Structure 1
Amino acid sequence: MNLPEACIRRPVMTTLIMAIFLIFGFFAFKQLPVAALPRVDFPTINVSARLPGASPETMASSVAAPLEREFASISGITSMSSVSQQGSTSITLQFDLNRNIDGAALDVQAAMSATARRLPPELPSPPSFRKVNPADQPVLFMVLTSSTRPLYEVHEFGENVLQQQISQLPGVAQVNIFGAQKYAVRIKINPDAVSARGLALSDVRTAVAAANSNAPVGTLNGENQRLTLGATGQLERAAEYGNLIIAQKNGTPIRLQDMATVYDSVENDQTASWYNGQRSIILAVYRQSDANTVEVVDNIKNRLEAYRAQLPAALDLHVLNDRSIPIREAVEDVEFSLVVAITLVIMVIFLFLKSLAATIIPTLALPISLVGTFAAMYALGYSLDNISLLALTLAVGFVVDDAIVMLENIIRHIEMGKKPFQAALDGSREIGFTILSITISLVAVFIPVFFMGGVVGKVFVEFAGTISAAIIVSGFVSLTLTPMLCARFLKAHDHHKKPNLLERTFEAGFQGMLTAYRVTLDWVLKARLLMLLLTLGTVYVSAQLYTAIPKGFFPTEDTGLLRGATEGPPDTSFEAMAVRQQRVAEIVKADPAVDYLTSNIGGFNATNNGFMFISLKPKEERDKAEVVIARLRRATSEVPGMTAVFQQVQNINLNAGRQSRAQYLYSLQGPDLNQLFAFAPLMQQRLAQIPQLRDANIDLQLRNPQLSIDVDRERAASLGISSDQIRQALGNAFGSRQIATIFTPATDYQVIMEADRAYQQDPAVLSRLLLKASNGLNVPLEAIATIKPSVGPLAVNRISQQPAVTISFNTAPGISLGDAVNAIRAAERDVSLPPTIVTSFAGSAQLFQDALKGQGLLIFAAILVIYIILGILYESFIHPITILSGLPSAGLGALLALEYFNMDLSVIAIIGILMLVGIVKKNAIMMVDFAIERRKMGDDALSAIREAALVRFRPIMMTSFAAIFGVLPIALGHGAGAELRQPLGIAVVGGLLVSQLLTLYITPVVYFYLDKVDSWLSGRNRRETQETMVSGVPVAVPQAVHKPDL
């Protein structure tokens, strides 16, 4: 008893098995996380260090270089890059995708500890690291503003209350603060006033640090009581520091306020954030990699009233950049496409079967297969996202295919006059192997995807797993539930029943199609050689089209969010940059498509750099995002001395944590700094002239004004002044030194000392800076050093421990990434880059090149796996070739459709073509299976394949139309995330339209020719094996000569 027969005879068992699928699937659906795209974890660690006042060169050589040398010994690092700017260094370590991030973090911690002895002792705190996932974007912005309270009070509530409470919510990974304005006591020292009192800046620093002691002093232990001693050495506010006595002179106290302005300020006064033009503190919330974005955002929003109730007076809380909104919209749109696809497929089934009962039977396969797939998705750790829902939508078109094939064959037996029960037994037994072949070979298409490496593999393994689960469940349902329902609910054929008008009309149309097909098929079978040449021509044209079509990576989605990057001249001060940044922000906010924006400068960026997050209005109220970007680019170009670059925020960031002003990265590396710095600007200028590119900009800025201090070491030594003493004096005056710490129950604050602003604006002050000689006298710096103006880099960039320059760029509208890459390679030849300079793409551009290399291999591997599976199922080397002969026509249709709609051959489109490999062969399997059975009954090859093509014409048409209409909503493309899904839909629909037509003729012709080969091989094998052993001697038994069919 086979499986279908067992299910037919045991309907209760079959029903309960289906109920299990539905129950487990329903509960799994409720537990599945919701996200924009599948979880892609980049094991990435960011190491940062700060040394206020240090130049970029100093940070690179004394901080970045020692750390990088130690990190280089850590296993599993795929890329290491660093950016050293004024007073800060950031090192990004990206590990192999299979590297455990926690183990990598332990190795990084150990390397930092080993390097600690070689780092400058002036570092206010040791380097720190954090585990990051550059693929993640903030899921929510919490913005705090106040029109009356100082910003450090706004920051204090954000850091000590909101950040702490939100960080503890389930699913929240971290909460970063943009535009931080943490409280600090700032001492603006007057160097002349200090020297006039016979003091040095180091004396002030020492006195302030000593006066702010918070150390324990001991205890008193009596016979009956123990008392802890506490000294009031902690100063907390600027007014207290102003009265601090620094020294005594002739019995008169010298107070800090006599030599400095002491005021309540912020720790970093070189960073700022705005929300719609108002200064603000922005909390960016990031989710954990396995968390549900929608749930994380909902958890925060549900607590908004509680957060607002805690707000101090005059503080306002705004919720921005809600990433759950586009995710909800995308999921809803895909769900809508799913419903439309199901409706269209049911209509197709009804039109062909002309019976409500017959329509319901395969229709039941849809919910059971899809709901059952949710259980598999939950077990595999998948989420409801654009990719998995896309797989489910595509599955609609062919999860009913198996049920249709089973149903149609049983109805054919009923029409022969059999009772439904017997027809179900005979029909399921006859067609069971065909369904098994279709199911196994269709799943086999996606086997290579499971072995894909890199980011593309991480993303699309969820697609492959989801659709494979749906196929397997649908195949099981077709072999169990469908024949059982047919046996119970189909009626015996009534020859006297009169069809209604709709049935007569459709049947007449179908019979007309069948007649036309019979006539054309007979003609093709007579002109077999011509059809064979057409098949070979299809292969050639497909190969040429594949070579010529533009190649792309991921389609750019219109998420409704833009990121803007701004840059001023290298010598721009923080104050001047703030004015210019606000002017750009005003222009952006005035655009009719813009809803709101946040703007930032400073922080870990250079003072002449800024960035913006721009939220656009709903799609129906604005132009396309690329049109808005073009308009903003033109409008902001009018701001003098500023350049602004805008790009669409994507659901996945593939630039491995590297900051860039545009979407794609191109790097140049070389050991010769002078050569690298000479050719990199030439390359950037050449790329800016290429019409295929936009926004080509370079991270090399060599015209940062500097003052070089050349110390006369012999003169300094004669006065007893050391190099360290000079460095300390300069740092005390101009380095924003953190000279003391204020500890409170909630947090700690810094006391910062630097020269008064008037002295920072006058380079001549350096000459008058006093140093204490060994004899106690103060010596001006100009007595032992020469001060010269010079220029230097605004930032020092390194990749893999080598100096590097990175050019970021966007592609022009309508230009594929592949075309842009080819144009850049041509530009390299135009510039004549020396061989010592090594160029490479990084981030998404590098991933595109990796994916491009594997495209052909992926398709070849899928075809090879299918061939092997079919060869095993049919025990034949030849029949699988017949079944696969229609694939070139599918590729031709897909490529023609993409070309017609001006779309790139992106990774998404390649997955569509991979889908076609699995879908198209189903027609051939149905024909070849039937033909093989007819051959066993004695028919010649020509008659067998002709009969197979005509008998299987109805199920072929049903499954073809079901597949086309199932994917049609995706191809039409609407709603959020449509840009990501549409190329796949276009490729599948185009491939199906062409292949379903051509394979009806290609398969019979190829079968006829290859059957001759199969017969010859079978005859030869029989002759070789039909030998008997007579007295141990093999004797050949005479065989009849096999005559191949003509």
Structure 2
Amino acid sequence: SNLLPDGVRPSLGPDATALGQIFWYTLEGRDENGKVTGGWDLQELRSIQDFYVKYALSSASGVSEVASIGGYVQEYQVDVNPELIRQYNISLDQIVKAIKESNRDIGAQTVEINKAEYLVRGLGYVKSKSDIENAVVSSKEFTAVRIKDIGNVALGPAVRRGILDKEGAEVVGGVVVARFGANPLEVINNVKSKIDELKSGLPSKQLSDGRTSQLTIVPFYDRTELIEETLETLNSALVLEILITILVIILMVLNLRASMLISGLLPVAVLMVFIAMKLFGVDANIVALSGIAIAIGTMVDVGIILSENIVRHLDENGEELAINTVIYNATTEVSGAILTAVMTTIISFIPVFTMIGAEGKLFRPLAFTKTFALVASIIVALFLIPPFAAYLFKKRRNKISIRFLLNGALVIIGIVAVIFGYWLGLILVAFGVLAILKLLNKIDQRQLNMSNMGVSVAAIIYLLSSYWRPLGVDRNIFMNLVFVAIICFGLLIIFKLFKRYYVQILNWALNNKLAFLSIPTIIVISGFLIMRNTGQEFMPSLNEGSFLLMPTSMPHSGIEENKRVLQQLDMAVASIPEIETVVGKAGRVESALDPAPLSMYENMIIYKPEYMLNSEGKQKRFRVNDQGQFVLKDGSVVTNPNNDGQNELFNSNLKADQLIEDSNGEFYRNWRPEIKSADDIWDEIVKVTKLPGVTSAPKLQPIETRLVMLQTGMRAPMGIKVKGQDLTKIEAFGVELEAILKEVEGVKDEAVFADRIVGKPYLLIDIDREKIARYGISINQVQQVLGIALGGMVLSQTVEGRERYGIRVRYPRELRSNPTDLEQIYVPVESGSPVPLGELASIKYEQGPQVIKSEDTFLVGYVLFDKLENFAEVNVVENAQKLIREKIESGELVVPDAVNYAFTGTYENQLRAAKTLSIVVPLALLIIFLILYFQFRSVTTSLMVFTGIAVAFAGGFLMIWLYGQEWFFNFNFLGENLRDLFQMKTINLSVAVWVGFIALFGIATDDGVVMATYLKQTFKRNLPENLEEVRASVVEAGKKRIRPCLMTTATTILALLPILTSTGRGSDIMIPMAIPSFGGMLIALITL
């Protein structure tokens, strides 16, 4: 603290980071209909924000701070006239002392009167302008010289370093910052509860037109919607995965009781995962829940293997052994294989537990939930399925009358359910009627079983098509039903055909070993070649539903110019029909977390969801008439351009509360027909925000930007950090790098920008020490005059209830607006007349830094850039590094002395993650091999199973390569392009993709473990003595284990389809994680 200048008092900042800015709002006057009204000035709003709203919201649990922005901070401004000061021979020190002494309360202990104690207070706080005006500065010849005699006192705005603008109108607002480690959703809910408490106490005004303007807290950025939408996307995916696995089980097991056994216990396992998450403090975010989604396939696989073995043993047993003995034998036969398969999957996630930095915080919860899911599947498989199987498969003999009674009750309950609108009652009716027909001997047991499975399959297909809309919500249920049925049954038929011809395929492979082994060899080689040529990036962007436009103006631009430009930007963006609202900020909020200069803009752009949501934030259908027009509550109609392509009829201002919800209606699309994705909206924003004197900005989103700025200190995901000891050299070298980067392949020209560090104009007052010495004046005396007269000094604070306002002294604006006037500022001399500043100092202009940044004891500047679409960020950085090296080697670029540069941004995160994975992934694979060895006690068998990982690994890369090929799936089916439907585009190697591969490593050996375990048991039982007997044993084992292996593969592949076709919030992260497993398991079929 001894190194800090006088008057600088360091204090602790909030226990939070800029990433905790979870809730932004404005204060607006609104009438009874919710329409914006006038009647409130910016100073008045800022006072209410600073002294009422801010304190109230700060008390919400989990809030670190509430920072104000915008409007004017009121202060008492004392403008003293230097000529009058000279005439009265008064110094600035006397004025300062007079004002300080006129604003003071004291406590004078207590007085006891009539045995009662009274607290004594001396009242002296300033309450109005007149209190300051009448403050006595000096007294000569019994005449008091007051402040009003030498200057003017007025209420005015303090100097501000931040502006807030909403769609072209200046506003007042605030930002709520959550504490580090707090749950954002809980904090936002606590803040909203406080707002509900506070709103009744906010002031209101009667306007001149008779309307009442009620001050309202209006949020414009709220993470609740993003959090709930991402969780809803994943919850839907989980439900669909469960439904698909049930469908696969029914169709492939062809045993309703076994299907019920596996399907019924799957939700139990998922519930156990949530209990473990609660106990271990793992938050239910999108990545954590993705762990459950990834694990669903393995969880079901364990149940399938055990249940299928139980059913097979029961079929082979007849009546020889007791049912408990049969189930025990079936369980012990595969329990070792099940434990080994699950252990390899758990071990495969060790690399995720070792991740550090941003990737560790993001994906470690996924590793926890997947581990919980696998442990839960073991508990369910080995401790719940056997007893439930004994109960379900036990033969019972009930009286026919009781059966009639039970099934009749089932039919009645079903009919009642249908009457009350629950169509699932039809299933109960169907089950009851079929059972009654069986009792009446109208159908036999086989027909009953097949009919029950048919009803179950129909119900599941209907549920799938109702909640899984791969063709889009604007297509009717029937078309989605057809598509879902075709894709599910199509894949299942392929698996059935594979099972049917498996023995012939196996025999051919055994007879033509070299020809067959060349297939996986070619696949593995191709996969590794594709891996070497696949682009790399740190993480795919999560679609947040909002953009953050961050251009900058020139450093010398003043506050009024920045305000004008900010308003132009906001009005231009607000004119785009797809934009819900746009709020821009120039400068900083009143917080240590936001050190932004005035020339930096942050335009928070919230765009409308593609389809209209209801008041609960859910996508709903709305009523249409016979002509397909949407009917409004006031009886009028509007045409949706998504239905008929009539742009001129597009109503961009329509709200959900104007439409009528109708389950038989249509979805209202908020976007114009030519707008297909959020990227198209960003392109529109870029077009309208091209203003002279304003830089372009990379495509950013609020959370993404805060994270990048927190990690690197710059406002772009890619950049070059230039370090040195001289800011001028740093800036000059940065400008040279800017020109070179524009030549780099894959770099977006308009997004390249080097920091203009030394561009702020300075007005320097150079005090001549010789001259001030002649007058006996010190440097401090001159500086004090400058500080008070020119800059102004807050001398004291008024206490007006809860409100506090500063009292500032300075010269009038007209006496300090240019250098000539500054030269006339008088500096008092102890003996003699005051001396003009012009005689003591020289005044000159000079350019200097607007902000000084340092890192590792070096000064630093940034060169920002962004990549073009379909280019990987690591490849772009490598291209840039190569070109810069070539320029340096050729002499075209010279690195100044004591200056160095390094690429920074998410590129650094990718390098760190790749380095960690390059060490830990091989270690995890080694542990998996050791587990296999302990299971089989044979290096050959373990290697045979282990090779499944290599084949699946290559299969994952083949699928990634196919996703990037324009011809792959590029055709229409049922009116939809399949490439668009499955969101096929270039996939870069990111941490999310590697997590998908890590998940694949674990499940790739599952089928091999099951098959090899039974092979070992078959060899032990048959004791083959020659090659023919060995082949016969292999075919026997393969024939008996192919069904459970195909079922596990089918459930894994089909369960991933809802994720691959998902378009909801959060799918950007889930799809790259699912692709490796989808492609790997498809190719892994050849390992069977």
TM score, norm. by length of structure 1: 0.79
Q: Hey, what's the Cα distance between the residues in 1 that align with 2:377 and 2:12?
A: 52
Structure 2 residue aligned with 1:612, among 603, 607, 621?
603
Match for residue 661 of structure 1? Answer: 715
Q: Does the 8 Å CA contact 1:365/1:400 hold for their aligned counterparts?
A: no
Secondary structure, in 3 states, of the residue corresponding to 1:796? coil
**Alignment CA distance shift 1:646-1:281 (3 Å):** farther
Structure 2 residue aligned with 1:972, among 1041, 1057, 1061?
1061
Instruction: Describe the superposition over 1:239-261 as per-residue Cα deviations: whole angstroms up to 9, x where unpaired.
Output: 43234333346665444344444
Q: Hey, what's the Cα distance between the residues in 1 that align with 2:109 and 2:834?
A: 40
Secondary structure, in 3 states, of the residue corresponding to 1:306? helix
Shift of 1:523: 2.1
Shift of 1:769: 1.8
Match for residue 338 of structure 1? Answer: 238
Matched, 1:272 2:163: yes
Deviates more, 1:166-175 or 1:835-844: 835-844
Q: Hey, what's the Cα distance between the residues in 1 that align with 2:272 and 2:1055?
A: 19
Shift of 1:618: 1.0
Shift of 1:792: 1.0
Match for residue 77 of structure 1? Answer: none
Match for residue 311 of structure 1? Answer: 202
Q: Hey, what's the Cα distance between the residues in 1 that align with 2:726 and 2:193?
A: 57
Matched, 1:369 2:269: yes
Q: Hey, what's the Cα distance between the residues in 2 that align with 1:567 and 1:195?
A: 45
Matched, 1:714 2:798: no
Q: Does the 8 Å CA contact 1:700/1:795 hold for their aligned counterparts?
A: no
The one-letter amino acid of 1:874's match is F
Q: Does the 8 Å CA contact 1:287/1:293 hold for their aligned counterparts?
A: yes
Matched, 1:904 2:984: no
Instruction: Describe the superposition over 1:38-91 as per-residue Cα deviations: whole angstroms up to 9, x where unpaired.
Output: xxxxxxxxxxxxxxxxxxxxxxxxxxxxxxxxxxxxxxxxxxxxxxxxxxxxxx
Match for residue 868 of structure 1? Answer: 930
Match for residue 792 of structure 1? Answer: 848
Shift of 1:656: 1.9
Match for residue 1081 of structure 2? Answer: 992
Matched, 1:575 2:560: yes
Shift of 1:991: 1.6
**Alignment CA distance shift 1:142-1:678 (3 Å):** closer
Alignment of 1:912-927 (within 5 A): 912-927=996-1011
Q: Hey, what's the Cα distance between the residues in 2 that align with 1:232 and 1:414?
A: 95
Instruction: Describe the superposition over 1:327-351 as per-residue Cα deviations: whole angstroms up to 9, x where unpaired.
Output: 1111112111111111111111111
Matched, 1:549 2:534: yes
Q: Does the 8 Å CA contact 2:169/2:567 hold for their aligned counterparts?
A: no
Q: Hey, what's the Cα distance between the residues in 2 that align with 1:719 and 1:415?
A: 114
Unaligned residue ranges in structure 1 (runs of 5+)? 1-114, 1001-1046
Shift of 1:707: 2.1
Matched, 1:819 2:875: yes
Alignment of 1:511-526 (within 5 A): 512-526=497-511
**Alignment CA distance shift 1:559-1:256 (3 Å):** same
Match for residue 415 of structure 1? Answer: 315
Shift of 1:142: 5.1
Q: Does the 8 Å CA contact 1:417/1:492 hold for their aligned counterparts?
A: no
Q: Hey, what's the Cα distance between the residues in 2 that align with 1:885 and 1:866?
A: 12
Match for residue 781 of structure 1? Answer: 837
Q: Hey, what's the Cα distance between the residues in 2 that align with 1:591 and 1:709?
A: 48
Deviates more, 1:559-568 or 1:214-223: 214-223
Shift of 1:909: 1.0
Secondary structure, in 3 states, of the residue corresponding to 2:79? strand
Shift of 1:891: 1.8
**Alignment CA distance shift 1:136-1:221 (3 Å):** closer
Instruction: Describe the superposition over 1:565-604 as per-residue Cα deviations: whole angstroms up to 9, x where unpaired.
Output: 2322222111121112111111111111211122222334
Match for residue 627 of structure 1? Answer: 680
Matched, 1:282 2:338: no
Match for residue 235 of structure 1? Answer: 126
Deviates more, 1:952-961 or 1:409-418: 409-418
Matched, 1:122 2:14: no
Instruction: Describe the superposition over 1:395-453 as per-residue Cα deviations: whole angstroms up to 9, x where unpaired.
Output: 22221111110111122222323444443122112111111111212111112322222
Shift of 1:215: 4.2
The one-letter amino acid of 2:997's match is I
Matched, 1:596 2:590: no
Q: Does the 8 Å CA contact 1:898/1:905 hold for their aligned counterparts?
A: no
Q: Does the 8 Å CA contact 2:936/2:1013 hold for their aligned counterparts?
A: no
Q: Does the 8 Å CA contact 2:538/2:990 hold for their aligned counterparts?
A: yes
Q: Does the 8 Å CA contact 2:327/2:390 hold for their aligned counterparts?
A: yes
**Alignment CA distance shift 1:237-1:820 (3 Å):** farther
Structure 1 residue aligned with 2:785, among 726, 729, 740?
729
**Alignment CA distance shift 1:642-1:717 (3 Å):** same
Instruction: Describe the superposition over 1:538-560 as per-residue Cα deviations: whole angstroms up to 9, x where unpaired.
Output: 33322222221111122112211
Shift of 1:472: 1.1
Q: Hey, what's the Cα distance between the residues in 2 that align with 1:369 and 1:460?
A: 21
Matched, 1:391 2:453: no
The aligned length equals: 883
Q: Hey, what's the Cα distance between the residues in 1 that align with 2:26 and 2:844?
A: 47
The one-letter amino acid of 1:655's match is M
Match for residue 700 of structure 2? Answer: 647
**Alignment CA distance shift 1:510-1:906 (3 Å):** closer
**Alignment CA distance shift 1:823-1:757 (3 Å):** farther
Secondary structure, in 3 states, of the residue corresponding to 2:586? strand
Match for residue 141 of structure 1? Answer: 25
Q: Hey, what's the Cα distance between the residues in 2 that align with 1:765 and 1:249?
A: 30
Instruction: Describe the superposition over 1:633-662 as per-residue Cα deviations: whole angstroms up to 9, x where unpaired.
Output: 221113555655552223672432766433
Deviates more, 1:771-780 or 1:910-919: 771-780
Q: Does the 8 Å CA contact 2:541/2:1068 hold for their aligned counterparts?
A: yes
Q: Does the 8 Å CA contact 2:45/2:71 hold for their aligned counterparts?
A: no
The one-letter amino acid of 2:930's match is I
Q: Hey, what's the Cα distance between the residues in 1 that align with 2:695 and 2:135?
A: 45
**Alignment CA distance shift 1:357-1:612 (3 Å):** same
Match for residue 434 of structure 2? Answer: none
The one-letter amino acid of 1:347's match is L
RMSD: 3.0
Instruction: Describe the superposition over 1:827-861 as per-residue Cα deviations: whole angstroms up to 9, x where unpaired.
Output: 43234535743333445342222113233334323
Q: Does the 8 Å CA contact 1:365/1:474 hold for their aligned counterparts?
A: no
Structure 2 residue aligned with 1:347, among 222, 247, 266?
247
Match for residue 942 of structure 2? Answer: 880
Secondary structure, in 3 states, of the residue corresponding to 2:218? strand
Unaligned residue ranges in structure 2 (runs of 5+)? 30-36, 206-214, 397-442, 458-488, 589-594, 612-669, 888-892, 964-984
Q: Does the 8 Å CA contact 1:402/1:435 hold for their aligned counterparts?
A: yes
Q: Hey, what's the Cα distance between the residues in 2 that align with 1:451 and 1:605?
A: 35
Instruction: Describe the superposition over 1:201-225 as per-residue Cα deviations: whole angstroms up to 9, x where unpaired.
Output: 4443333223223344666678967
Match for residue 671 of structure 1? Answer: 725
Shift of 1:871: 2.4
The one-letter amino acid of 1:450's match is F
Q: Does the 8 Å CA contact 2:339/2:378 hold for their aligned counterparts?
A: yes
Q: Does the 8 Å CA contact 1:238/1:262 hold for their aligned counterparts?
A: yes
Instruction: Describe the superposition over 1:929-969 as per-residue Cα deviations: whole angstroms up to 9, x where unpaired.
Output: 11111222313654444433332111111000001111221
Identical aligned pairs, as a percentage?
Answer: 23
Match for residue 1029 of structure 1? Answer: none
Match for residue 339 of structure 2? Answer: 436
**Alignment CA distance shift 1:716-1:564 (3 Å):** same
Structure 2 residue aligned with 1:558, among 536, 543, 548?
543
Match for residue 460 of structure 2? Answer: none
Match for residue 459 of structure 1? Answer: 362
Instruction: Describe the superposition over 1:660-679 as per-residue Cα deviations: whole angstroms up to 9, x where unpaired.
Output: 43334431112344432321
Q: Does the 8 Å CA contact 2:220/2:583 hold for their aligned counterparts?
A: no
Match for residue 895 of structure 2? Answer: 833
**Alignment CA distance shift 1:515-1:657 (3 Å):** closer
Secondary structure, in 3 states, of the residue corresponding to 1:572? coil
Match for residue 687 of structure 1? Answer: 741
Q: Hey, what's the Cα distance between the residues in 2 that align with 1:455 and 1:242?
A: 58
**Alignment CA distance shift 1:150-1:861 (3 Å):** same
Instruction: Describe the superposition over 1:251-277 as per-residue Cα deviations: whole angstroms up to 9, x where unpaired.
Output: 654443444442223444343222333
Q: Hey, what's the Cα distance between the residues in 1 that align with 2:870 and 2:151?
A: 60
Matched, 1:962 2:847: no
